[in-house]
Amino acid sequence: MNNEYLSKLLNRINTDLVKQFEKAKLMELRFIPIAIQNGTLYSVVSQDGDKQAVASYIKQKIQTGGVEFISVSPANFNLLLSDIVKKVYPAQAINQNQERDNAPAKPGDINQVKSPQTKKIGQILVEEKLLTEEQVQQALIESKNFGLPLGSTLVKLGYITIKQLKDALAAQMQINMAQEDQLASLPDAITCLSDDFVLEHKVIPLSYNSKTLTVGMVNPKDTDTINQIIGMTGLKPAILMVTSLEYERYVEQYYKKAKKPEEKKQTFKKEKTELEVLTEQLAASSDSGPGEQTLWQKVQSDIDEISSDAAKYANMIVTQAIDSRASDIHIEPRLDGYVTRYRIDGTLVEVVRIPAYLESSIVSRFKVLAKMNIAEHRRPQDGNFTIKYNQQSYDFRINTLPVNGKEKIVIRILAPSMRAEASYTKEIKIVGAFPDDVEKIKYLTSAPNGIVLTSGPTGSGKTTTLYALLKTMNSPDCNITTIEDPVEIRLDGVNQSAVNPKAGITFATCMRAILRQDPDVILVGEIRDYETLEVAISASLTGHFVLSTIHTNSAAATVTRLIEMGAKDYLISSTLNGVLAQRLVKKLCPDCKRPYKPTEEDARKILTDPERIKQLMETTLYHAEGCPNCGGTGYKGRLALLEILVVTKEIKKLIAAHAHDIEIEEHAVKNGMRTLNESCIRHIIEGNTTIDEFVRVLGLVGE
C-alpha cells in the first residue's frame, strides 16, 4: 500500500468477517466489510458502487443493526480489494490483479489511477522523444536545488514547455489538467477554502455551484485532502491537476498578503492542535469509556479534519449558549445565509449570523461531533455529543433537517446539574413548586407500586421533573431502570436504555425485557400507544413503581386520554397514583423587577370573579424592566407551574363510573388541587412572574 490512509483501513478489516461473503459479490457490488461494532457493520464501498444494493446484500447474509459506509475512490478500492483477496483468497489473487489491471480507465477520473503501474514522468517524456536520459538525470539532480518536482524542474531548465509537462502529466495520471483560463482570474470559489488549507495542501479552489467545488491539486491522489474538502464545504469535489509552477504562480498572485507557506504551515499546525484538544475532550466524556474509540471515530480521524476556524466557531456557538443559559441552539439557513438563534427562557433570540465561508464547515463540524453521516444531506439525522466546559460535562442532542436545499440544525443542551451524581438526596428540587406541592409529590413517590405520570406539551419540563423524582428515589437499595428516546441526562446509579425502532427496540419491547431485570422503579420516556400503556399497567400490577410522561392539557384530561388509548377504566383506577400537569413560565429578574398596581383590564386577563379582580387591583404586582444581568429581557430563568392530581378513593370511583374529566377536575379542586391557572396567579402575586407570562403560556381566561 502506498497510501497511509489505505494502510490504516486495511489494518482494520476483519478477515474473518470478509470470509462470510462471496468474493464474486465483493467484486460485483464493490464493497469490503471492515468490522461490526455496537451492532453496526462498517464497510468500505467504492464510489462507483451501489450503497443500497450493498446494504441489502449484507442484511441478507448476516444480522446487523445497520450499515455505515466509508467511500473510497475506485482506484483505491481496487488496491484494497487486491490486498484482501491475497489474504482471504490467496489462490485467486493473481486473477484479481489481472482484472484490476485490465479495468478500463475513465478520462478525467483520478480514481482510475493505477499507482503501482504508473510510468514515471521522465520515462514518458523520453518515450515521446522530448527528452534524453541525460537531461532527465541532470534534472533529477537540479530538482533538489530548486525544491520542485521533476516536471517543474524540467520547465525551469528550459528542457520542455509547461504545455508539454501538462500533456505528460495528463497521460501519466489519467486526469484532466486545469486550463490557463481557469487559472487566469480570481475565482468566486476562493472563499470556499481557507488560506491555511490552500497553503498546507497545495490546492486551488477554481469554481463552484450548489453541488460541486472544482479544485486544482498538485497531488490529485491525496484522498485525505479530498475528504477534508468534502468535510469542510459539504460539496462534491471535481478534481483537476495543476503543476507546482502553476500552483506557486497562483499563490503569488492571489495570496500576496498571506504569510509565507512555511509560516502559515506552523500556524495551521498550531490551530489543528487546538482542535485536537477539543476532540480529546469529546472522546474523554463519550459513552465508549476512557481511552476507547469507536470504529467510526477512528476512521473519521483518518479521513476528516475540519478546519480550525470552523472548529473554533462551533465551539464558540456552544459555549456562548451555555453561558447564556440557553436550552436549545438553532442553526438555520435563510435566504442570505445561516443564522444562529438561542432559546433562552423559552424564547428564541437571534445572536449571530455565520460568515458565508464557514456555513458548510459549521454544519459538517457538528455532524462529525455527533457521529452523523456528513455526506448525507437529503435525510434528517439524529445524534449526540458531550463536551466539558467550566469543569462540567454537558450533553447535547442534535437533529438535522433538510431545508431549502440546505440543512437546519437544532441542538438541545441537557442540564449538567443532574449528570453523573453519586450522592443521594431525598430533597425534591423543582423550581416553582410550593411546599404543599412538594408534600403531594412525596406522597405519590412513597408508594411501593403504581403509576405516576407527568403531562404537558413539548418543552414544558416533563422529563426534567421525572429526573428530579428519580434523584430522590435513587439509592443503593433501589434498582431503577429507564427506557428513553433518547437518554437525555445520565444519572449515576440508574440503568438507562435508549429505544431503537430500526433495531426493533421500542418502548413496549424494552419494557418486557426490563421486567426480567428485577427492577424496583421503571421510567418510561413516553406512553405513546396502547401496547406501551398495557405493559406499564402490567408492571404496576406486579409490584413495580412506574414513571412516565404523556401529552395532555391537564391532569384530569390524562385519565380520559388513557381510556381513549384502550385501557380499561378499572385498571386505571387501580394502578394510577397521580398525575402532574406542568407548564413553564419565565421568572422575573430579581435585580430589575419593578412594582406597580394592576388595572382592571390587567386583572380581567387572568380572573373572572369580580371580587377577586377587585382584590388583585389593590395588590402590588411586578413587571419586567430589563437590566444587564438579564440581557435586557426582564426575566432570568424559568419556574414550573404544577397541577397535581392525587388519585384518591373518591376519584377512583369517578374513573370507574366513566366520569368526564371536567367532573374529576371539579372534585379534585374542591379537595385542594391547585390548577395551572391558580398556580400561576399565586406566583404573580408573590412577584415571581407576570400577567404577560400567564397570557403567553396559559392564554386569556375564558378563552
**Best CA proximity match to 118, nearest among 45, 217, 10, 219:** 219
Torsion from C-alpha of 317, 322, 328, 330, nearest 10 degrees: -10
**Best CA proximity match to 28, nearest among 7, 11, 45:** 45
| Residue 595 preceded by cis peptide, ω within 30 | no
Q: Number of helices (H) and strands (E), helices first, in the chain? A: 30, 21
With the C-alpha atoms ordered 501, 505, 511, 512, is the resulting torsion angle positive or negative?
Answer: positive
Residue 584 half-sphere exposure toward CB, CA atoms < 13 A: 21
- Quote the cell numbers at residue 212: 460541486
Do residues 234 and 193 touch, judged by C-beta distance below 8 A? Answer: no
Pairwise CA distance, residues 204 & 216, whole Å? 5
Mean pLDDT by 10 residues, the chain (703 residues): 63 84 85 83 83 86 82 76 77 41 36 48 76 77 69 75 74 72 66 76 79 81 76 73 79 57 35 38 40 43 47 83 89 86 88 77 83 80 84 86 89 67 63 90 90 90 86 86 80 82 77 85 88 88 92 91 90 93 93 92 92 93 87 88 94 90 93 94 94 91 64
Residue appearing with cell numbers 390587567: 602
Residue appearing with cell numbers 485490465: 102
Q: Give CA separation, 219 vs 202, 204, 207, 303, 417, in Å.
A: 8, 11, 18, 16, 50
Which residues in 97-120 are b (16+ Cβ under 10 Å) and which e? eeebeeeeeeeebbbbbeeeeeee
Torsion from C-alpha of 25, 27, 31, 34, nearest 10 degrees: 80
> CA angle, 615 as apex, 609 and 618 as ends, to 5°?
145
pLDDT digits (tens, 9 = 90+) for 451-510: 999 999 888 888 888 888 888 888 888 899 988 877 777 777 888 888 877 677 777 788
DSSP H or E run through 254: helix 244-254
Pairwise CA distance, residues 81 & 31, whole Å? 8
- 337: CB partners within 8 A, 6+ apart: 353, 354, 356, 359
With the C-alpha atoms ordered 346, 350, 352, 357, is the resulting torsion angle positive or negative?
Answer: positive
Amino acid identity of 138? Q
Q: What is the pTM of this model?
A: 0.54
Do residues 630 and 636 touch, judged by C-beta distance below 8 A? Answer: yes
CA 409 to chain centre: 8
Residue appearing with cell numbers 474523554: 284
Q: Which residues pair with 13 in a beta bridge?
A: none
- Quote the cell numbers at residue 327: 436550552
3-state SS class at 516: coil
DSSP H or E run through 8: helix 4-12
